[in-house]
Amino acid sequence: MTDRLEGKVAFITGAARGQGRSHAVRLAQEGADIIAIDLCEQIESNPYPLATPEDLKETVRLVEDLGRRIVASKADVRERGQLRNALEAGIAELGRVDIVVANAGILPMAMGDPDPLDFVDATDVDLVGVMNTVAVAVPHLGEYSSVIVTGSTAAMLPNTTDNPAMGPGSAGYGWSKKTLIGYTEQMALHLAPRFVRVNCVHPTNVDTDLLHNDGIYQQFRPDLPHPTREDAEPAFNVFQAMPIPYVEPVDVSNLVLFLASDEARYITGQQIRVDAGSLLKFPHGPGN
């Protein structure tokens, strides 16, 4: 442990599990206190389970075990008022906010008949949810604060954005992630005079529940009626130039940590991939 974030407070959405939990732990290891929120409920159109209140409690335990403070609440990124209340409760206890990690996301990949509402749910969480997170935080951000938005290589790969054949939920996910590129650049431009930075991280496959579910397995192994994790894992390699099926959450957290720290104090408006060379394999995607 070092102290690259000593004295700073990070506001992290989707913090109950997966990458959000990993970000909370990694930033806490470097001295940050944490304001954590998660929906901790199901969204009907999402075919795999979202996090539970127990998951959020486990994040709290992990951060506190590191000797750091954490204020955790149940809040929905689609509801700006809930986010504002959660953030302000955290600031009341921890005194400030310097880092925003807009990470919460869903991938409502249709398993049966496509439902156009899947597109609405995906964009509400994956795009509007990010904008709400940043909106409630901006009034509290002082000089050298850092906003980190979670995108996806789905924003850049061919056939993963605006593609009705992928189903409305998947198309909504890809379109949201692609739109976050321009959003990041605009926010970075407008916050630069205040020395507030905004960057977007784009992971390839990450070893979390968003990847490990039947809808994704089916997409990677359409040749099988009920593919399992073991069936799908070899096919996951297709996206990366390095021969791996996915990166681990901590691989993304290490980039988030760098962008959150003062080491990155003049890095803003960037799209940075943690993708094991994915875009080198698909150089002509929409964002490339």
For the annotated catalytic residues, the residue numbers are 173
Find the shortest distance in angstroms from Cβ 253 to ligand NAD: 10
Asked if 106 touches ligand NAD (CB under 6 A), the answer is yes
Best CA proximity match to 5, nearest among 144, 136, 103, 139: 144
Asked if 174 touches ligand NAD (CB under 6 A), the answer is no
* CA-based torsion, 199, 200, 201, 207: positive or negative: positive
Strands (E), the chain: 9-13, 33-38, 70-74, 99-102, 146-150, 197-203, 271-274
CA 162 remoteness from chain centre: 20
Q: Token digits for 233? A: 């894992």
Q: Which of 86, 94, 211, 232 touches ligand NAD (CB under 6 A)?
A: 211
Site string for ligand NAD, 65-104 (x = CB under 6 A): -----------xxx------------------------xx
Q: Which of 30, 33, 38, 251 touches ligand NAD (CB under 6 A)?
A: 38
Asked if 51 touches ligand NAD (CB under 6 A), the answer is yes
Asked if 221 touches ligand NAD (CB under 6 A), the answer is no
Find the shortest distance in angstroms from Cβ 155 to ligand NAD: 9
Asked if 209 touches ligand NAD (CB under 6 A), the answer is yes
- Tell me the Ramachandran region of residue 54: left when phi exceeds 0, alpha when psi lies from -120 to 50, beta otherwise: alpha
Angle at CA of residue 216, ends 210 and 221, nearest 5° = 155
Q: Among the candidate windows 156-164, 209-217, 225-233, 235-243, which touches ligand NAD by CB under 6 A?
A: 209-217
Q: Token digits for 78? A: 């689609």
Q: Which residue is listed with tokens 């994704």? A: 216
Find the shortest distance in angstroms from Cβ 36 to ligand NAD: 10
Q: How far apart are CA 132 and CA 117, in angstroms?
A: 20
Asked if 14 touches ligand NAD (CB under 6 A), the answer is yes
Q: Among the candidate windows 4-12, 16-24, 189-197, 226-234, which touches ligand NAD by CB under 6 A?
A: 16-24
Q: Which of 16, 94, 272, 276 touches ligand NAD (CB under 6 A)?
A: 16
Q: What is the DSSP letter of 263?
A: G
Q: Which of 59, 133, 179, 205 touches ligand NAD (CB under 6 A)?
A: 205
- Tell me the Ramachandran region of residue 162: left when phi exceeds 0, alpha when psi lies from -120 to 50, beta otherwise: left
Find the shortest distance in angstroms from Cβ 37 to ligand NAD: 6
Neighbour count for residue 258 (Cβ, 10 Å): 17
Q: Is 150 helix (H, G, I), strand (E, B) or coil?
A: strand
Q: Which residues bind ligand NAD (CB under 6 A)?
A: 13-14, 16-20, 38-39, 50-51, 76-78, 103-106, 125, 129, 150, 152, 203, 205-206, 208-211
